[in-house]
C-alpha cells in the first residue's frame, strides 16, 4: 500500500521517490507527497520526472499519478520502473487547498456556535470558491450567513493552532463534539481501525484526511458568497479565501459606497434608507395602479353602446393594456352604472385580445362570447359567465369590434 504523505507533511513540495510501476500514463511511486482527490479536496497539481500531472487518484490502496503523457516512451525524458524520479507539487495550488480546507473547518466551528442540531454533509474545493454543506434544524438566513463569516474571520484573527493525529477509531469517536462522517471524508480512515483527526484549537475537531495549514492565521480573509438549500434539511454555504475573497470583499464595499452615495446617505444608514425608499416606491406603485385603473375605467365608459338580445353592451378598443389590467376597471364600471349590462374590450397592438365582462344579474355570458370570438377569429381563451378573455386573435381589432357590435 502506498499512502500519500501529503496529509501528514503538507509543507513538502519537492521529493524524490522510486518508480514502482508504470502503466502507460499512470505512475505509482514508492512514496509520494501528492494528494489524491478525496473527500471534496481536489488532487494536487505538479510534475513527476518533469512531466505534468493530470490527475492523482487512490486506487486499490495505491496512489496513482496520471501524467499528461506516457513517460516510458516517446517523451523527452523516458522513465523506467526502479528509477528514482523527482516529484514537484504545485506550491500555489497546494497552499490554496490547505487554506481552503482549514477554512471549511473554521466555518463549521462557527456554525457550531450559531446553529442548533448541526450536522456535517460534506464540502468541496474549487479554484474560485469553497462550499460546506450543513444539516441544520432550520434553514440559514442572511443574518446567519453574515454571522458565520464574522465568527470565521475572528477565528482566523485569533491565530488558533491547527493539529492532526491518527487515533484508534473508538478513541476518535469519543472526542467531544467531533464531526465524523466517513462517507464525505473517506480520507480520514487511515486503514484498519485508525482515524485521522484534525483539531482547530478550542474551535473545531473533525475526522478528516485532507491537508491543512498549521495556524488559522495562514488562511487569510474568508468571504461568504452565497447560501442555498440543495436538499431537505441541508444548507449549502459558499465562501471564498485568498484573492477571490479579497476581490469579492472589495466589490461589496465599492457597491455599498456607490449605493450610499446614490441614496445620499452613508453606508451605516443605507439599510434604513433603502427600506424608506422601498416604502415610498410601494406607495407610488399603488397610486399609479389606482390612477391607471381609473383611466382604464374612464376609457371603457366612453365605449359606444349597442343592444343585442335585450342586453345593453359597451364595445370598443383599448390600447396600452393587457387583459389582466382590465378586469378590475370593467367590473367597477358595471357596478357603478345601470345603463350597460356588459362590455367587450378589444386590445390593440401586435397581438389583439378580447376581454368580456358581464353584470352578474344580466343575461350575458362572458365565456360564451369569448368562445364565439375565438371561433370566428382564431386564438384561444376562456372564463366564466361574468368575466372571460381570449388572445391570439388573427384579425384587425376594428374588425373584431365591428363583428361584436353586429351580433
What is the DSSP pairing of strand 311-318 with strand 26-29?
unpaired
292 found inside a domain: no
Task: Say if residue 37 is in the same domain as residue 159.
Answer: no
Q: Are residues 43 and 176 in the same domain?
A: no
Question: Are residues 83 and 101 both part of a single domain?
Answer: no
Note whether 139 and 249 are same-domain residues: yes
Instruction: Find the mean pLDDT for residues 109-115.
Output: 94
Domain span including residue 216? 95-262
> Which CATH number does the domain housing residue 253 bear?
3.30.980.10
Confidence of residue 283 (pLDDT cuts 50, 70, 90): very high
Per-residue pLDDT band for 37 (boundaries 50, 70, 90) equals very high
Which residue, 23, 56, 89, sits at the end of a domain?
89
What's residue 125's pLDDT? 96
Helix (H) or strand (E) holding 135: strand 130-135
Cell of 337: 352604472
pLDDT of residue 183: 53
Q: Which residues pair with 346 in a beta bridge?
A: 317, 354
pLDDT tens digits, one per residue of 209-223: 999 999 999 999 999
Return the C-alpha cell found at 79: 522513465
Average pLDDT over residues 195-218: 95
Per-residue pLDDT band for 320 (boundaries 50, 70, 90) equals confident
240 domain-assigned: yes
100 and 71, same structural domain? no
Q: What per-residue confidence (pLDDT) applies to 406? A: 85
Same domain (yes/no): 326, 231: no
Q: Is the pLDDT of residue 348 over 70?
A: yes
Average per-residue pLDDT for the chain: 91
Q: Write out the DSSP string of 19-72.
A: EEEEETTEEEESSB-PPPPBTTBPPP-EEETTEEEEEEEEETTEEEEEESS-TT
CATH of the domain at 54: 2.40.30.130
224-281 pLDDT, tens digit per residue, is 999 998 888 899 999 999 888 999 999 999 999 999 999 999 999 999 999 999 999 9
Instruction: Name residue 89's beta-bridge partners.
Output: 46
- The answer to whether residue 78 scores a pLDDT higher than 80 is no
Amino acid at each position: 500500500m502506498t499512502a500519500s504523505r501529503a496529509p501528514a507533511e503538507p509543507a513538502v513540495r519537492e521529493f524524490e521517490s522510486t518508480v514502482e510501476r508504470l502503466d502507460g500514463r499512470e505512475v505509482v511511486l514508492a512514496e509520494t507527497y501528492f494528494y489524491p482527490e478525496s473527500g471534496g479536496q481536489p488532487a494536487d497539481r505538479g510534475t513527476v520526472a518533469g512531466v505534468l500531472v493530470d490527475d492523482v487518484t487512490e486506487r486499490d490502496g495505491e496512489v496513482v499519478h496520471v501524467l499528461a503523457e506516457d513517460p516510458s516512451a516517446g517523451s523527452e525524458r523516458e522513465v523506467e520502473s526502479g528509477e528514482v524520479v523527482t516529484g514537484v507539487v504545485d506550491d500555489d495550488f497546494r497552499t490554496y487547498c490547505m487554506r481552503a480546507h482549514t477554512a471549511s473547518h473554521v466555518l463549521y466551528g462557527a456554525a457550531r456556535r450559531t446553529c442548533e442540531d448541526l450536522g456535517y454533509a460534506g464540502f468541496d474545493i474549487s479554484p474560485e470558491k469553497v462550499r460546506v454543506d450543513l444539516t441544520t434544524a432550520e434553514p440559514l438566513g442572511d443574518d446567519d450567513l453574515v454571522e458565520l463569516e464574522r465568527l470565521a474571520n475572528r477565528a482566523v484573527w485569533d491565530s488558533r493552532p491547527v493539529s492532526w493525529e491518527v487515533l484508534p477509531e473508538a478513541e476518535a469517536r469519543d472526542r467531544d463534539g467531533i464531526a465524523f462522517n466517513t462517507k464525505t471524508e473517506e480520507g480520514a480512515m487511515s486503514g484498519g481501525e485508525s482515524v485521522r483527526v484534525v483539531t482547530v484549537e478550542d474551535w473545531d475537531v473533525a475526522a478528516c484526511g485532507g491537508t491543512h495549514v498549521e495556524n488559522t492565521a495562514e488562511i487569510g480573509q474568508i468571504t461568504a458568497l452565497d447560501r442555498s438549500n440543495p436538499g431537505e434539511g441541508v444548507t449549502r454555504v459558499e465562501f471564498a479565501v485568498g484573492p477571490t475573497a479579497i476581490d469579492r470583499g472589495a466589490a461589496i464595499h465599492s457597491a455599498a459606497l456607490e449605493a450610499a452615495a446614490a441614496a445620499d446617505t452613508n453606508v451605516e444608514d443605507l439599510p434604513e434608507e433603502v427600506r424608506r425608499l422601498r416604502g415610498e416606491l410601494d406607495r407610488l406603485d399603488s397610486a399609479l395602479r389606482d390612477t391607471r385603473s381609473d383611466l382604464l375605467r374612464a376609457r371603457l365608459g366612453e365605449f359606444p353602446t349597442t343592444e343585442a338580445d335585450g342586453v345593453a353592451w359597451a364595445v370598443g378598443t383599448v390600447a396600452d393594456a393587457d387583459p389582466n389590467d382590465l378586469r378590475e376597471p370593467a367590473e367597477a364600471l358595471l357596478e357603478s352604472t345601470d345603463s350597460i349590462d356588459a362590455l367587450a374590450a378589444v386590445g390593440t397592438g401586435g397581438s389583439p385580445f378580447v376581454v368580456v365582462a358581464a353584470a352578474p344579474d344580466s343575461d350575458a355570458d362572458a365565456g360564451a362570447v369569448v368562445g364565439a370570438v375565438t371561433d370566428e377569429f382564431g386564438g384561444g381563451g376562456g372564463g366564466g359567465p361574468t368575466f372571460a378573455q381570449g388572445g391570439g386573435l388573427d384579425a384587425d381589432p376594428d374588425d373584431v369590434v365591428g363583428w361584436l357590435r353586429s351580433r
